[in-house]
Amino acid sequence: MNFAKNFATFATKNNILSQTISITAIASVSPLGNQSSTIWQNYLKNTHFFEKHFLDHKETWAAILDEDSKALVGAMRDSDIKYKALDKSVLYAMLASRKAIESAGWGEKDIFGINIGSSRGATDLFEKHHLDYLQSGKAQTLASPTTTLGNISSWIAHDLQSSGPEISHSITCSTALHAVLNGVAWLRAGMADKFLVGGSEAPLTDFTIAQMRALKIYSNIDERQPELAEWPNRALDLEKNQNTMILGEGAAVCCLEIGKKENALAFIEGIGYATEILEHNISISAEASCFQKSMKMALQDTDLSDVDAIVMHAPGTIKGDLTEYRAIEKVFGNKLPLLTTNKWKIGHSFGASGILSMELAIMMMQHNRFIGVPFADHPFRVVNPERVIKKVLVNAVGFGGNAVSVLLSL
């Protein structure tokens, strides 16, 4: 009790709970730069698993990394004998982390925390180890240490030779933005000056996609629908009559620092979070009350008219897109900011998706250019050419109704 009272007095006196948080770097490994024909590949087409379980579907879409990114990941795997046994989710995060701290100018003397999470962790590696066990009745020696959820942050700490705290967690698809929340909390508590936060996901496996198909949310668009096939994830198309979520792989991390730094790309101006009361395992209410609460919390010190754009979670499902849109209407009324998402372009990367949305938000502010959804109608594409994009709200939510909203400013 005395500690809490003393800390509250200290925090108020030193104003640390409201100190500015600077984003001094952000880096990613994702399909972002690919052309549509390169991104959207028929990932499981003609495989034995696909023929056995999905004969009624001619194509299974997935958002794939470009060849240059794959080469960089391969080179990292080959750079150290210890890295050869690691899952792609770890390697993606390591590659993004190296780029981020170099961009931020963090050196050997900098002490920083690490919080990089994942929805499913070492997905591909776990499934391979489990298959080996089913076939042989024996688990391989490295099966456990290379598939634990803390595997990602631990290996990044090793790779970067950091000396600060390292944390891992999984909060489904809002994992990366929860890492941001955690980093902000550590910085504002005065327990660290710098934090590396983010998420990583490599979910393109037979079993994972089969799970999404079992939920009936995966895209079945094929060559018989040529008007849709160029962008088969119809995220933010509120007129769609079928679920069109598609999985993508990737990782992103950002460097957070306490205070207003000269080299900041953007600033975290508000954070919000909320959890929905569930009716079933993957439910979300018709007007996404969790999003309403998280957005209101993030915007409590902000005039709503100052928000220029929102990067929505919008996974490409009928209900997911529509409920978030209704939540935004509830909060903003009939004066909506510009609305967009990146999942029509890079797919849904589960636990990494929120930080990849932050990357899009920062890009729009840095270049003062709204990046909309090419097939979505008003009010998503109407841009006032005189409006400068200075504040962008980023949303993420996962199974279990764990919503996070982060307000970024330039």
291/276 Cα distance (integer angstroms): 9
pLDDT digits (tens, 9 = 90+) for 124-176: 999 998 888 899 999 998 888 888 878 899 999 999 999 899 999 999 899 99
Which domain covers residue 189, as residue numbers? 15-258
Task: Give the three-state DSSP class for 40.
Answer: strand
Within this chain, do residues 253 and 273 fall inside the same structural domain, yes or no? no
The domain boundary, picked from 206, 227, 258, lies at 258
Q: pTM for this structure? A: 0.89
Domain-located, residue 7 = no
Within this chain, do residues 189 and 314 fall inside the same structural domain, yes or no? no
Question: CA–CA distance from 377 to each of 67, 237, 240, 320 (Å)?
Answer: 33, 8, 12, 18
Within this chain, do residues 45 and 179 fall inside the same structural domain, yes or no? yes
Q: What is the pLDDT of residue 350?
A: 95
Within this chain, do residues 254 and 331 fall inside the same structural domain, yes or no? no
pLDDT digits (tens, 9 = 90+) for 83-122: 999 999 999 999 999 999 999 999 988 999 999 999 999 9
Task: Give the three-state DSSP class for 114.
Answer: strand
CATH code (residue 300): 3.40.47.10
Within this chain, do residues 109 and 188 fall inside the same structural domain, yes or no? yes
The domain boundary, picked from 234, 258, 282, lies at 258
Q: Which residue has the tokens 């076939």?
A: 135
Of 13-22, 175-184, 210-219, 267-276, the range with the lowest mean pLDDT is 13-22
Q: What is the pLDDT of residue 88?
A: 94
Total of domains in the chain: 2
Domain-located, residue 1 = no
Within this chain, do residues 315 and 251 fall inside the same structural domain, yes or no? no
Cβ-in-10-Å burial (0-12, 13-18, 19+) of 98 comes to: middle
Q: What is the pLDDT of residue 59?
A: 62
Q: Which of 218, 195, 191 minimizes the C-alpha distance to 206?
A: 218
Q: Which of 231, 226, 228, 252 minimizes the C-alpha distance to 241?
A: 228
Q: What is the pLDDT of residue 7?
A: 43
Residues 6+ apart with CB under 8 A from 344: 231, 233, 234, 235, 236, 316, 373, 374, 375
Mean per-residue pLDDT of the chain: 86
54 has pLDDT over 70: no
Within this chain, do residues 318 and 177 fall inside the same structural domain, yes or no? no
Q: Which of 408, 325, 396 minimizes the C-alpha distance to 363?
A: 408
Within this chain, do residues 294 and 215 fall inside the same structural domain, yes or no? no
